[in-house]
Structure formats: structure tokens, C-alpha cells
Amino acid sequence: MGTLRRIRLALGALGLVLLAGTVGYVILGFGWLDALYQTVTTVTTVGFREVHTLSPTGKAFTIVLILLGVGTALYTLGVLLEALIEGHLHHHLERRRMDRQIGRMTGHVIICGWGRVGRACAQYLVTTEQPFVVVDRDELRLQGLSHPLVVGDVTDDDVLRAAGITKARALIAALNTDADNVYVTLSSRALRPDLVIIARARTETSKSKLVRAGANRAVNPQLIGGRRMATFALQPHVAEFLDVVMHDESLEFRMEEVAVARGSSVCGRTLREAALAERTGVLVLALRPGVAAPFAANPSPDSCLDDDTILIAVGTPHQLTALHRECAARVT
């Protein structure tokens, strides 16, 4: 039996004893307050004198109440002390607080798997101040983690719901095996058809399977790491610049993607007409006419900015905020 269930049963039993004792003394002629007072002093063995003189029936009832009530009270006290000493109650209260925190979150990222890849993802999300929830079945692996977390099997739909998948922005499947990542991808896609899912692939052959399972992107960390190492060997300055722009917080400039919303001030206009560089100060490196369309690097000034066009821009945080504002839908 779990500690929390034992606490509930013990408190319930004590409550029944107090109720039975109060009702019994009322039947014996006590007032309700006097009956409750007599019951509490009897069960807790305080030893005060009787409120009213007891008849033989009252004395017999009190003996039974002492035998049942004192044992119940001592058992309840023992269960509570055990829970406090072993930390079960604190753990439960902390879990409840975290569940409420996750319940209030929206637009967060769910990281499935707290291994090397999951930790690397979390480090980047921390630098971008993006909220996230970590899910892992190994509670020991999550000890000391200060971020919102859920302990459980991520292949279970209830665990995904507990992590707030209904209000999440994206999910990263970073489990150890491709089979688990495929299963999580299938479950997540069934629960949220519009969710952005990024899945880890240990082999190249698994990437196509993960995409067919519903992942928006399947990433092989070993392949990407090898290519980056080769890039540093051949074009170190280019590779370092991209690293600095994407990950170095000390640099003033950042690279971000911005979506053109229907009804925004730039929707339906060309880059020249929108004059984004003049109005915001950003440099548009590339654009994508749609999610499935190829990128157009160094786009022509005559490129049209339809709704759902994705802009890849470089600028300061202030400039990028201005670009987001220009591309956002106007509130009517």
C-alpha cells in the first residue's frame, strides 16, 4: 500500500472514530459540543474529567471508545510521522506543485528522454528562455533537476498528457532506441495532429521511418556532429560564425525565423515594398514561400511575401522584435 493511501485511510478511520464517539455521547444525553469535546479528550488520552457524570452504559461506551480510538489515533500519528521523516509527503506536495505549474504552461517544449541529447536540447532552450518539460522513466536520472518534469514511461499517452502535450509547442523525442522514438512519435501525432515533432534517429535508415511515423524532422546527432567537425576543418570561420550567431549569448546579433501572418502589414507585398531592412534594420538571408517549399537564399527584392512565408533574418533582439511585429497579424 502506498504512503499516501495509508495516510488517507488513517485519517478516514480517525474521522469515523471521532464521529462515532460524538454521536454516541449525544445519544447518552450530551450536547453536540460537549460530546465532541468528550470524544477528543478520550481518544487523545488527555485525561481531563468527564464533562457529565457517566452512567454504567456511558462508562462501557467510553471503554470501547478508548480501546478503538487511542489505537486509531496512535496509528494515524505514526503514519504521518513516517511520511514526514521519509519525505513522502514533501515529495507528494512538490509533485502537486509541479503538476499545477505544468498545467499553467502553454507553448512549451516537451523533451522525452534525459540523456546526453536531451540535456543538450535543454541547455539551448534555457539560453533562449523557452519553457520546457522533461519526461523520463528513470527518477534517479532526474534528481536535482529544477525544471518541470514528469516521471513515467513516455510511450504512455497519460504521461504525455501530464506533460501538457495538448498545449505544447513542440516535442523532442530523444530516447535511446529508434523503436521508442517511433512509438512516441506515433502516440504524439495521434494526440496532437498539429504538434511539431523532432525525433532522434540513431541510424540513417531510421530517419525515413520516423518521418513516416509523423515526425516533422528526424535528426541523427552523430551525422550532424561529424559534418560540423568536417566543416570546422575546412571552413572554420564560417562554422564558428554560425555557432556564435545561433548559440553565443554574448553576441548582439541573432538569427531567427519569422512567419508572415495573414493580415499583417507586409502580407501580399514584395520585399522591396515592405522595406523591412529600412523599417526594422534586419538582414533577410533567405525566405521560404511555404512549409514544403525550398529556401530561396539571398532573395530578390521582388520576392512576394504571402501568408505563411518564412523569413530567415539576422539582427539584434530589438530589430528582430520589430520584424516579428511587422509580420504579425493586425488586431482589429
pLDDT for res 332: 52
Q: Where in the chain is the domain with CATH 3.30.70.1450?
A: 252-327
pLDDT for res 93: 63
Q: In whole angstroms, give the CA distance from residue 267 to residue 83.
A: 60
CA atoms within 13 A on the CB side of 155: 9
pLDDT for res 218: 92
Contact indicator for 124, 154 with CB cutoff of 8 Å: no
pLDDT for res 175: 92
Beta strands in the chain (DSSP E): 109-112, 132-136, 149-151, 170-173, 196-200, 217-219, 254-259, 269-270, 283-288, 296-297, 304-305, 310-315
Q: Where in the chain is the domain with CATH 1.10.287.70?
A: 3-86
Q: What would be the CATH architecture of the domain defined by 106-219?
A: 3-Layer(aba) Sandwich (3.40)
Domain 3-86: top CATH class: mainly alpha
pLDDT for res 11: 85
**Strands 170-173, 109-112: pairing kind:** parallel
**Strands 109-112, 132-136: pairing kind:** parallel
Fold of 252-327: Alpha-Beta Plaits (3.30.70)
pLDDT for res 167: 92
pLDDT for res 145: 81
User: Which residue type is seen at 157?
Assistant: D
Would you give per-residue pLDDT tens digits along the chain (332 residues)?
566 677 788 888 888 888 988 888 888 888 888 888 888 888 877 766 777 778 888 888 888 888 888 888 888 888 777 766 665 555 666 677 788 888 889 999 999 999 899 999 998 888 888 899 999 988 888 887 888 888 888 888 999 999 999 999 999 999 989 999 999 999 999 999 999 999 999 888 888 899 999 999 999 988 888 888 898 898 888 887 777 776 665 567 788 899 999 888 898 899 999 988 898 999 999 999 877 788 999 999 999 998 889 999 988 888 999 999 999 987 55
Q: In whole angstroms, give the CA distance from residue 212 to residue 226.
A: 25
Q: Where in the chain is the domain with CATH 3.40.50.720?
A: 106-219
Q: Is 11 helix (H, G, I), strand (E, B) or coil?
A: helix
pLDDT for res 59: 83
Note if the pTM is more than 0.85. Answer: no
Q: Is 130 helix (H, G, I), strand (E, B) or coil?
A: coil
pLDDT for res 86: 60
35 Cβ contact partners less than 8 Å away, ≥ 6 residues apart? 21, 22, 23, 24, 25, 26
